[in-house]
Amino acid sequence: MSDKPEENLRRREARYDRERRVRLKVGEDVETLEEVFDGRTLMTVMHMLNTGRLKELQGAVKAGKESRIYHGIDPKGVEVAAKIYLTSSAIFRQGRLKYIRGDPRFKDVPRDTRSLVDQWALKEFKNLELAREADLAVPKPIYVEKNVLLMEFIGKNGVPAPQLRDVRLQAAASWYEKIIGMLRTLYDKAKLVHGDVSEYNILVPDGYPVLIDFAQAVTVEHPEAKEFLERDVENLNNYFNGLNVRTRSFGRIFKIEK
Ligand SMILES: Nc1ncnc2c1ncn2[C@@H]1O[C@H](COP(=O)(O)OP(=O)(O)OP(=O)(O)O)[C@@H](O)[C@H]1O
Ligand SMILES: [Mg+2]
């Protein structure tokens, strides 16, 4: 400490300012989070903040029907994406059951919707892990707790990378082949079928495709895996046909025994 009283006062004020700013930040987060989240989700997010999984959680970058994506910062200052699954929706339950039943990893389907939503988040986490192990470009999964999934942020400075549908492609045919190749690797190496492939669920951060949104992805043993895969290829073919790319039929790409 300096022995000049004004200097001491200035320092004390600066420290007070700093502390207040930090407290305010937390306070603001709680306020904005409280408006959006139910108590359980808020507790989960606070737990992540308090245990050093997250340093900050900032505004929503995208609000879907059943999840919201937030931009966050981890304790090292690295950007992360927090996908928060909204709980308590009967539609959620109806629509999701078929992707959980039939997947040998999830034998017991929880009765209550909250546990089902938690399992849905865990399912996305595990699917992302399998896809990463197969060296596919997907967001790196970081942590999952209850209905909150932390993963690598695909984008920069809080702005998510554009979706494929918003990108003007040079040499669209090679993009088509590249994405079909990803579905192949997903099937052959990760033993997964995505089940919701579209121009919305592919982000383009730096001139290459990143496949996202893996909660509904199922293992190849799932009784409907082939139907899901066929639908994925059809979606992709429809999109690329619209860009005048000559696409290939499902049967020519995947030769899978029924
Ligand atoms: N890891 C990520 N990094 C950056 N942005 C992301 C990330 N994951 C998702 N997003 C953004 O949030 C949007 C929705 O994410 P996602 O598709 O995983 O959720 P969803 O529940 O399927 O939402 P929707 O119902 O809108 O499809 C994405 O299209 C993308 O813009
Ligand atoms: Mg999506």
Please compute the mean of the pLDDT values over residues 158-187 and round it to a whole number: 97
CA–centroid distance, residue 204 to ligand 2 (Å): 14
Asked whether the predicted pLDDT for residue 24 surpasses 70, the reply is no
Rounded to whole angstroms, the Cα distance separating 254 from 247 reads: 13
Please compute the mean of the pLDDT values over residues 197-210 and round it to a whole number: 97
Q: Which ligand sits nearest to residue 68's alpha carbon? A: 1
Spatial neighbors of 101 by CB under 8 A, at least 6 apart, are 109
Mean pLDDT of the chain: 87
Q: What's the pLDDT tens digit per position in 96-147?
A: 888 888 888 887 778 788 888 999 999 999 999 999 999 999 999 999 999 9
CA–centroid distance, residue 16 to ligand 2 (Å): 43
Asked whether the predicted pLDDT for residue 19 surpasses 50, the reply is no
Atom of ligand 1 nearest to the CA of 154: 3
Q: What's the pLDDT tens digit per position in 235-244?
A: 999 999 999 9
CA angle 90, 96, 98 (to 5 degrees): 125
Rounded to whole angstroms, the Cα distance separating 255 from 41 reads: 44
Token readout for 239 is 């999109």
The residues annotated as belonging to the active site are: 196, 213
Rounded to whole angstroms, the Cα distance separating 69 from 62 reads: 5
Please compute the mean of the pLDDT values over residues 145-164 and round it to a whole number: 97
CA–centroid distance, residue 201 to ligand 1 (Å): 7
Give the per-residue pLDDT at 36: 61
Give the per-residue pLDDT at 91: 63
Atom of ligand 1 nearest to the CA of 214: 18
Rounded to whole angstroms, the Cα distance separating 92 from 111 reads: 13
Cα–Cα separations (whole angstroms), residue 250 to 98, 175, 193, 233, 253:
22, 17, 14, 6, 5
Beta strands in the chain (DSSP E): 56-63, 67-73, 79-85, 141-145, 148-152, 155-156, 159-160, 192-193, 202-203, 210-211, 218-219
Rounded to whole angstroms, the Cα distance separating 91 from 27 reads: 33
Asked whether the predicted pLDDT for residue 7 surpasses 50, the reply is yes
Residue in 57, 58, 69 to alter for ligand 1 test, most ligand atoms within 8 A of Cβ: 69
Top mean-pLDDT range of 14-18, 38-42, 236-240:
236-240
Q: Which ligand sits nearest to residue 64's alpha carbon? A: 1
Asked whether the predicted pLDDT for residue 177 surpasses 90, the reply is yes
Give the per-residue pLDDT at 182: 98
Asked whether the predicted pLDDT for residue 14 surpasses 80, the reply is no
DSSP letter assigned to residue 77? S
Neighbours of ion ligand 2 (CB under 5 A): 201, 213
